[in-house]
């Protein structure tokens, strides 16, 4: 049994034994949430909320192949969605320049000058995407997550996650040609 499985098993019996899991994943969950909400304090509060939910539902977690981390991220993603619905925060997309450049290259803006000109268009274009597409783009290009993990968090198969992302980029590419022609 792995170390983490031991912790989870112990936490199921006694919630105080959840602490090692809390310590291990606190920063990761915080950053996941912080990338999506406008306020730092709200991000800390929401992080605590996510762990509370996890502790309340730990007995339902089964070792069936979904990693514990992905299970936590799912709780975090749904919690953040609830914040948006409740208007507790504006939806934030935390992008980084290398990630934007990578997207630009994927839709064929390869030259440096092209990338710079079209970055603004790109950021607006991403913001216009449906929410789940934004999550795909954010997780892949800005958070550098592997497709398997993205699929687990969004409850997609790994292949579907890849195909969806590919279709998003393809659509953006067509839009870019149309706008800049």
Verify binding: residue 133, another protein, rule CB under 8 A: no
Site for another protein in 25-44 (CB under 8 A): 26-27, 30-31, 34-35, 38, 40, 44
Q: Does 16 bind another protein (CB under 8 A)?
A: yes
Q: How far is the CB of 179 from another protein (least distance, A)?
A: 18
* Binder of another protein out of 82, 111, 116, 132 (CB under 8 A): 82
Q: Is 123 in the site for another protein (CB under 8 A)?
A: yes
- CA nearest 119: which of 133, 109, 130, 132? 109
Give the span between the Cα atoms of 4 and 61, in whole angstroms.
Answer: 13
Tell which one of 24, 39, 45, 117 touches another protein (CB under 8 A): 45
How many residues at the interface with another protein, by CB under 8 A?
78
Q: Is residue 155 a contact point for another protein (CB under 8 A)?
A: yes
* Contact between 14 and another protein per CB under 8 A: no
Of 132, 143, 154, which is closest to residue 66 (Cα–Cα)?
Answer: 154
Closer of 114 and 158 to another protein (Cβ): 158
- Residue 179 touches another protein, criterion: CB under 8 A: no
Best CA proximity match to 51, nearest among 78, 84, 25, 77: 25
SS3 129: coil
Decide if residue 51 touches another protein (CB under 8 A): yes
159 near another protein, rule: CB under 8 A: yes
- The DSSP letter of residue 157 is -
What count of Cα atoms within 13 Å lies in the side-chain half-sphere of residue 39? 10
Binding of residue 176 to another protein (CB under 8 A): no
Rule CB under 8 A: is residue 15 a binding residue for another protein? Answer: yes
* Residue 174: HSE in the Cβ half-sphere, 13 Å Cα cutoff: 5
Residue 122 class from Cβ within 10 Å (0-12 exposed, 13-18 middle, 19+ buried)? buried
């Amino acid at each position: 049994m792995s170390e983490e499985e031991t912790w989870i098993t112990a936490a199921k019996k006694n919630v105080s034994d959840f602490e090692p899991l809390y310590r291990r994943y606190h920063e990761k969950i915080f950053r996941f949430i912080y990338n999506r909400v406008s306020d730092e304090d709200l991000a800390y509060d929401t992080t605590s909320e996510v762990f509370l939910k996890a502790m309340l539902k730990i007995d339902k977690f089964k070792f069936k192949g979904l990693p514990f981390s992905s299970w936590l991220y799912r709780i975090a993603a749904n919690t953040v969605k609830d914040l948006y619905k409740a208007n507790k925060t504006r939806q934030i997309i935390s992008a980084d320049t290398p990630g934007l450049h990578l997207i630009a290259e994927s839709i064929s803006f390869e030259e440096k000058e092209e990338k710079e000109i079209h970055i603004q268009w790109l950021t607006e274009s991403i913001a216009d995407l449906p929410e789940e597409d934004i999550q795909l783009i954010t997780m892949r290009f800005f958070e550098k997550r592997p497709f398997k993990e993205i699929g687990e968090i969004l409850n997609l198969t790994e292949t579907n996650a890849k195909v969806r992302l590919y279709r998003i980029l393809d659509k953006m590419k067509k839009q870019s040609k149309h706008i800049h022609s």
